[in-house]
Chain A
Amino acid sequence: MSLLTRFRRVPLTIRVPVMVVMLMVAISAVISERVLDRLSKTQEVYLQGLASAYLDGIVASITPSVLREDSWEIFDSIERMKPSAENILPIETVVTGKAGLVLASSNPMTRETLRPLDGKFAAKFDGPNVVIDPQTRSGYIRRSIAYQNTVVGTVYAIFDVTSLLEERQQILVTLLATNSLITALLGCVGFVAVRRMIRPMQVLETHMIQAAAGSATVIGESEFLATNTEAASLYRAYNELVNSETERQALASQLAEEEKLASLGRLASGMAHEINNPLGGLINAVDTLRLHGERSNVRQTSIDLIQRGLHGIRDVVEAALATYRPERLARPLEESDIADLRLLVRPELRRRRQLLDFHMEGALSPEPAWPAGPIRQAILNLLLNAAAATPDCGRIGLRVEVNPNALAITVSDQGSGLPEAEATVLTAGTKMTLREGKGLGLWIVREIADELGAGVTVSGSANANTAICLSIPRTKYEVSDAA
């Protein structure tokens, strides 16, 4: 990954201030370089002027002495003319004669009188212009002594330019400190500004993450007050989206409830039929009793008939009550619940002339305590869905398997396959949005599966014989875990 790519991945709140800082550093470097260059030139001009003034005085004073080669007079002039009030002082002055011999020097110990001038020393000078050597912190300047258009000698002067270099150093430090301060300030301002600018995005991001997790909430009024109009507009759009989604969810729930009621209606109709069937026999039995009640065999047969008929009606009514008031069935699932379900779907199956293939593997026991109410509701929904999907005179299957890990309930049909949207509802969960309320029964199954911590798998081809398996884990309902 290149550095640029990595940098692009850095959060905006860091990236923008870093870019501001880098820009400021670049600007500072350019400005500092220009300022120091300008200062350097100004200082050189100043030093040149100062050195020239000094040399003018020296040359005017010593020219007659140079002509006479009067070392003492030259030395005395150098001593007397040494400025003391300036920041930039000559640290050494050497005067040579025509032959290049030292006539006098401010420091005769190092430049011995009437000896040839050291070549290395002379090489440091570059004529009338000051040469600054930062290493020795000195400025070197040379001036010829002319008399009647003839060069009779040369003055070499070395100036201590420490104060100039220190001034440069101080200005450099000041520039660096000021620029660093400004850069840091701009970096902070950039950080705060960008943070404020992207704050609405962060608020939106937080709410969207929450929405993705299934708990979408609208952005509060306080956030509106703390932001600008563009962000407020964005917030409003988001809130409208959330409200719309919430309404859609509410609608879906309502539709699910309606679906439940609709299936209840169908069941009620079946139940009425179930109740009605024995009612005919019961009425006949009552008539028989009325006519031939004195006959003990007839009476006994009629009473038995009436009793079976009433038991049948009671079973149907209890099954319905148990299913549609699940709070009454907080007890563990029992095999009688499975029998109830078979009883409940029987009217629908009979109406469609369908058969139910039931298979039970293993035995249900009080431990683990799988909750009867939601499981009954889920199986009933799956059975009704299978019945609806299967053509008339077809077969649907119900397989209940109690294995060491889970309770696996599989409902199969002979329909034309589960539509992809409804299969997705089952497998992806209730976070999926229902379209036009289709598949509400399965959506409720998914909701119950989530509640139970169960897994749902859909098998079979897309256009035939679908099998839906609800696998409820055992561990969650073990007594030790439940405790």
Chain B
Amino acid sequence: MCAASLRGVNNKVTRRSFLGWATGCATTLAAPALRAQSDRIRFGLTPVFLTNDLELLHALQAFLERVTGYDVELITRRTYQEITALLLSGRLDAAWICGYPYVHYRDKLELVAVPDWNGQPYYRSYLIVSQDRKAEDLPELEGDIHAFSDPDSNSGFLVTRTLLFERQLDPDSFFRKTLFTYGHRNVIRAVASGLAQSGSVDGYVWEVLREIEPELVARTRPLRKSEWLGFPPIATSKSLAYSPRILELRNALVSMSKSPDGQSVLSMLRLSGFEAPDPLVFSGIAAKYNMLRGVL
């Protein structure tokens, strides 16, 4: 509810203030509840993930429960903000979040593992347009209705926003209108249908959907691909970073590629595996975050 109202007023300073307040709550008010929940892992998933695939969710849950020995509860929310707030408030033990919230709350969060896509913990942001559009570069998108994924998404917002900033383009007037679809697949739908003339989307999602839903994705094309940036990581709160279940969770994720059921999950995710976290992976996102600090 709080998240919804925050989204409704669309005030980012207030939102981030709320998240900071929630972090404090996580270390005080939520502590008894966490102890009570110590026999299970509450794992949050954001729309960066292909959350509409129930088979994948069941397979992931079954794998994690088998390897960690804990009951695993998968919790999905519509926005990054909701998942981040739950994580910071201690109502989630770990979550698959975007690199942008991780960088933003780096002092309160700890990396658990980073996915490898094509053997690398990196992905790119795509600036997409409809397939038959002649545009070649960002300036030609002036006056568009532009679809972002989520205001807390790196690939679905931060990268394009930074690009505008770098090119000294006014984000409020460059696009005729911007809209948030709260899902990378929705960005592709918006552009493919013509609702929006361009969109910012996770390159990993775009590439995976090209295999799964070729008819949808074929109606769009990447106009611009960003540099390689840190793949959305699995993070936990600093207070839980070294708890047994988080250690078990990290172990399960990193060893996922070594077991058949883990490989099955990775196959569905089109990922090659998970690796131990290296904060330097997110230096590119951190640079963009720092560039826009005080602007957003």
Cβ A113 vs Cβ B196 within 8 A = yes
Q: Which residues of A contact B176 (CB under 8 A)?
A: 114
Bound: A104/B147 CA distance, A: 13
Say whether, besides A71-B145, A72-B186, A76-B186, A109 and B193 are in contact (CB < 8 Å).
yes
Interface 0/1 of B208-243, CB less than 8 Å to A:
000000000000000000000000000000000000
Asked if B179 and A72 make an inter-chain contact with CB atoms under 8 angstroms apart, the answer reads: yes
Which of B8, B186, B195 contacts A104, CB < 8 Å? B195
Q: Are B180 and A75 in contact (CB under 8 A)?
A: no
B23 within 8 A of A: no
Is B194 a contact of A72 with CB atoms below 8 Å? no
- The answer to whether B195 and A75 touch across the interface, beta carbons within 8 angstroms, is yes
**Contact between B179 and A108 (Cβ–Cβ < 8 Å)?**
no
> Contacts A71-B145, A114-B176: A109 and B194 contacting too (C-beta < 8 A)?
yes
Q: By the criterion CB–CB under 8 Å, are B193 and A75 in contact?
A: yes
- Smallest beta-carbon distance B208→chain A, Å: 21
Q: Check if A72 sits within 8 Å of B181, measured CB to CB.
A: yes
List chain A residues, Cβ under 8 A from B186.
Answer: 72, 76
Q: How far is the CB of B4 from chain A (nearest CB, A)?
A: 11
Chain B neighbourhood of A71, CB < 8 A: 145, 177, 179, 195
**B145's closest neighbor in chain A, by CB?**
A113
Give which listed residue, A68, A79, A112, A114, contacts B194 with CB less than 8 A. A112
Chain B residues closer than 8 Å to A70, beta-carbon distance: 179
Residues from chain B with Cβ under 8 Å of A75 in the complex: 190, 193, 195
Determine if B195 and A72 form an interchain contact, defined as CB atoms under 8 angstroms apart.
yes
Shortest C-beta distance, A308 to chain B (Å), equals 143
CB neighbours (8 Å) of B180 from chain A are 72
Contact with A along B169-187 (1 / 0, CB 8 A): 0000000110111000010
Q: How far is the CB of A67 from chain B (nearest CB, A)?
A: 11
B104 to A: closest C-beta gap in Å: 24
For A76, what are the chain B residues with a Cβ–Cβ distance below 8 Å? 181, 186
Identify 18 residue pairs between A and B in the complex whose beta-carbon atoms are under 8 Å apart, listed by A's number.
A71-B179, A72-B179, A72-B196, A75-B190, A75-B195, A76-B181, A76-B186, A79-B189, A104-B195, A107-B193, A107-B194, A109-B193, A113-B145, A113-B177, A113-B194, A113-B195, A114-B176, A114-B177
The number of residue pairs between A and B whose CB atoms lie closer than 8 Å in the complex comes to 37
Other contacts beyond A72-B196, A76-B181, A107-B193: 10, CB < 8 A: A70-B179, A71-B195, A75-B193, A76-B186, A108-B193, A112-B194, A113-B145, A113-B196, A114-B145, A114-B176
- The 7 closest A-B CB pairs, nearest first, are A108-B194, A109-B194, A108-B195, A72-B179, A72-B181, A75-B195, A108-B193
- Which partner residue on chain A sits nearest B130 by CB separation? A109
State the CA gap A28–B176 with chains docked (Å): 62
Q: Which of A59-82 contact B (CB under 8 A)?
A: 68, 70-72, 75-76, 79
Contacts of B193 in A (CB 8 A): 75, 107-109
Find residues 80-122 in chain A having any chain B CB closer than 8 Å to their own CB. 104, 107-109, 112-114
Q: Which residues of B contact A112 (CB under 8 A)?
A: 194
Interface centre among B145, B147, B190, B195 (most CB of A within 10 A): B195
Within the complex, the shortest CB–CB distance from A101 to chain B, in Å, comes to 10
How distant is A114 from chain B, measured CB to nearest CB, in Å?
A: 6
Chain A positions 465 through 476: 1 when the CB is less than 8 Å from some CB of chain B, otherwise 0: 000000000000
What 1/0 mask marks residues of chain A from 137 to 151 whose CB sits below 8 Å from any chain B CB?
A: 000000000000000
Within 8 A of A (CB), among B253-283: none
What is the distance, in angstroms, from A116's C-beta to the closest C-beta of chain B? 14
In the complex, residue of chain B having the shortest beta-carbon distance to the beta carbon of A76: B186
- Chain B stretch 137-196: residues in CB contact (< 8 A) with chain A: 145, 147, 176-177, 179-181, 186, 189-190, 193-196
The closest CB in chain B to the CB of A74 belongs to: B195
Q: Which residues in chain A, 354-412, are within 8 Å of chain B measured between CB atoms?
A: none
> In whole angstroms, what is the CA distance A68 to B8 when docked?
9
Contacts of A104 in B (CB 8 A): 195
Question: Chain A residues near B147 (CB, 8 Å)?
Answer: 72
Contacts of B181 in A (CB 8 A): 72, 76
Instruction: Tell me, rounded to whole Å, the shortest Cβ–Cβ distance linking A433 to chain B.
Output: 103
With the chains together, A68 CA to B9 CA distance in Å?
11
- Min distance, Cβ A341 to any Cβ of chain B, angstroms: 124
Which chain A positions have C-beta within 8 A of B179?
Answer: 70-72
- Return the chain B residue nearest A69 by Cβ: B177
Q: What is the distance, in angstroms, from B147's C-beta to the closest C-beta of chain A?
A: 7
CA distance A15 to B186 in the complex (A): 75
Q: Inside 8 A of B189's CB, which chain A residues have their CB? A: 79
For A70, give the chain B residue with the smallest CB separation.
B179
Known contacts A113-B195, A113-B196, A114-B145; A72/B190 CB under 8 A: yes
Bound complex: CA A275 to CA B180 (Å):
154
Contacts of B196 in A (CB 8 A): 72, 113
Bound Cα distance from A107 to B145, whole angstroms: 15
Q: Which residue of B lies closest to A105 (CB)?
A: B195
Q: Which residue of A lies closest to B148 (CB)?
A: A72
Bitwise interface map of B from 53 to 74 toward A, beta carbon under 8 Å scored 1, else 0:
0000000000000000000000
Contacts of B195 in A (CB 8 A): 71-72, 75, 104, 108, 113
CB distance from A397 to the nearest CB of B (A): 124
Bound CA–CA A108/B186 (angstroms):
15
A363 to B104, CA, bound (A): 157
Which residues of chain B from 1 to 33 have a CB within 8 Å of any chain A CB?
8
Chain B residues, Cβ within 8 Å of A72: 147, 179-181, 186, 190, 195-196
Contacts of B8 in A (CB 8 A): 68
Smallest distance from the beta carbon of B11 to chain A beta carbons, Å?
15
- In the complex, what's the smallest C-beta–C-beta distance from A108 to chain B, in angstroms? 4
Give Cα A234–Cα B115 distance, bound, in whole angstroms: 112
Give the CA-CA distance A213 to B194 in the complex, in Å: 96
- For A112, the closest partner residue in chain B by CB is B194
Task: Select from chain A the residue with minimum beta-carbon distance to B8.
Answer: A68
Q: How far is the CA of A71 from the CA of B190 in the complex (A)?
A: 10
Min CB distance B220 to A, Å, is 13
Q: In this complex, what residue of A is CB-closest to B195?
A: A108
